[in-house]
């Protein structure tokens, strides 16, 4: 760590404070000790000038014998030694110089008599400067720890996002491959169409893997590829209705955030019903929110498939990590309709 008073022009502030002290010191010698103005100024400049220099050197004793690196006894010994040496040295040097400059016996007597309170003043200087250094050291340590904590949280956030994203793509791929495996037996032509659609979808997804945010238009294109794949399998049983405001297409949302929601509609809507199921997608803007609503019919009497439940949980967790808001996903279940609504804030994000 650099010296706190030498770095960033802080030496100007340090020098200014000592200049004020020197002026007050000289005024005290003139007013209370009846010294001549010239001699009071010289005395003050020499005495305080020495402590000005010593004060800068105190930093190294604080820096290299801080509480977390030294035992308490060693710390006390270190400061007592520094205090005795520095104050003794300051008194010896200042007295030597002022004795040579002084021409009057009266001032020399004053100089000898002033040694006790000069020593006490040096003691006070030392403790004040040391206290300031420890406060600076504490402040710097707190800032450094906050920065480290912030970096750690950012790394953790990025890792969690990557983990969640990595759970989405395999989930879809496994479902699609299972569908293709079934179609190869009952309808090879549909299986071929499904492989082509899957290839286009994967090409799109891999091209976007480094993007954290996509436009609504890109995400809808992606979802339509996915639904085309599923339509090959389910035919007329699956229909899709969209109602998307034109202005929403340019708005942004997290990459592949809609994928698990539509997987959910297929799993719990089509799989569990023998009737035609319509998936409705609606998107609109309210102030700074992109609102997306996906709903599907389901059979309330059907025996539900057991799953790991990672779809909506992933969506909720990703939005919480990205925007720092916990309730951006709302679900509603009525007699035969399941609805998921996402609120996507249109703000700058750091991911």
Q: Which residues of 220-236 are buried (b: 16+ CB within 10 A; e: fewer)?
A: bebbbbbbbbbbbbbee
- Give the pLDDT confidence score for residue 170 in this predicted structure: 67
- Give the pLDDT confidence score for residue 129 in this predicted structure: 94
Domain ranges of the chain: 9-163, 170-345
Q: Are strands 238-244 and 277-286 parallel, antiparallel or unpaired?
A: parallel
- Give the pLDDT confidence score for residue 191 in this predicted structure: 82
- Give the pLDDT confidence score for residue 304 in this predicted structure: 56
Class of residue 237 by CB neighbours under 10 A (exposed 0-12, middle 13-18, buried 19+): middle
* pTM > 0.75: yes or no: no
Question: What is the DSSP secondary structure assignment for residue 270, as one 8-state letter?
Answer: I
Q: Which residues contact 292 (CB under 8 A, 6 or more apart)?
A: 253, 258, 281, 282, 283, 341, 342, 344
Q: Which residues of 272-302 are buried (b: 16+ CB within 10 A; e: fewer)?
A: bbeeebebbbbbeeeeebbbbbbbbbbbeee
Question: What is the DSSP secondary structure assignment for residue 15, as one 8-state letter?
Answer: H
Is the domain covering 170-345 a CATH 3.40.50.300 domain?
Answer: no
Q: Which residues contact 340 (CB under 8 A, 6 or more apart)?
A: 261, 264, 293, 294, 295, 312, 329, 330, 331
- Give the pLDDT confidence score for residue 299 in this predicted structure: 76
- Give the pLDDT confidence score for residue 292 in this predicted structure: 95
Is there a contact between 297 and 269 (Cβ–Cβ < 8 Å)? yes
- Give the pLDDT confidence score for residue 169 in this predicted structure: 58
Mean pLDDT by 10 residues, the chain (351 residues): 77 92 93 88 94 91 69 83 92 91 84 92 94 90 86 71 60 74 80 82 68 84 84 81 92 86 83 80 92 87 58 83 85 87 79 47
Is there a contact between 94 and 53 (Cβ–Cβ < 8 Å)? no
Is there a contact between 269 and 294 (Cβ–Cβ < 8 Å)? no
């Amino acid at each position: 760590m650099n010296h706190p008073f030498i770095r960033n022009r802080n030496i100007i502030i340090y020098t200014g404070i000592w200049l004020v002290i020197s002026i007050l010191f000289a005024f005290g010698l003139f007013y209370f000790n009846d010294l001549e103005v010239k001699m009071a100024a010289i005395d003050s400049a020499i005495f305080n000038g020495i402590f000005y220099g010593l004060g800068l050197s105190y930093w190294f004793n604080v820096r290299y014998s801080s509480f977390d690196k030294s035992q308490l006894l060693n710390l006390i010994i270190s400061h007592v030694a520094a205090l005795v040496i520095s104050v003794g040295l300051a008194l010896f040097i200042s007295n030597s110089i002022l004795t040579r400059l002084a021409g009057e016996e009266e001032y020399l007597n004053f100089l000898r008599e002033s040694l006790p309170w000069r020593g006490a003043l040096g003691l006070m200087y030392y403790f004040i400067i040391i206290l300031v250094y420890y406060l600076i050291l504490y402040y710097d340590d707190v800032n450094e720890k906050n920065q480290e904590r912030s970096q750690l949280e950012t790394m953790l956030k990025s890792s969690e996002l990557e983990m969640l994203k990595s759970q989405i793509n395999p989930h879809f791929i496994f479902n699609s491959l299972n569908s293709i495996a079934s179609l190869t037996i009952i309808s090879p032509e549909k299986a071929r169409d499904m492989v082509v659609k899957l290839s286009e979808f994967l090409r799109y997804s891999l091209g976007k893997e480094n993007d954290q945010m996509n436009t609504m238009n890109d995400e809808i294109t992606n979802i339509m590829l996915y639904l085309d794949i599923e339509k090959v399998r389910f035919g007329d049983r699956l229909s899709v209705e969209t109602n998307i405001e034109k202005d929403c297409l340019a708005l942004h949302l997290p990459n592949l955030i809609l994928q698990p929601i539509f997987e959910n509609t297929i799993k719990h809507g089509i799989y569990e019903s023998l009737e035609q199921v319509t998936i409705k997608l609606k998107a609109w803007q309210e102030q700074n929110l992109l609102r997306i609503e996906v709903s599907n019919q389901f059979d309330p009497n059907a025996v539900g498939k057991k799953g790991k439940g990672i779809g909506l949980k992933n969506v909720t967790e990703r939005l919480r990590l990205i925007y720092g808001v916990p309730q951006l996903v709302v679900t509603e279940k009525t007699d035969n309709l399941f609805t998921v609504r996402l609120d996507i804030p249109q703000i700058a994000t750091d991911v």
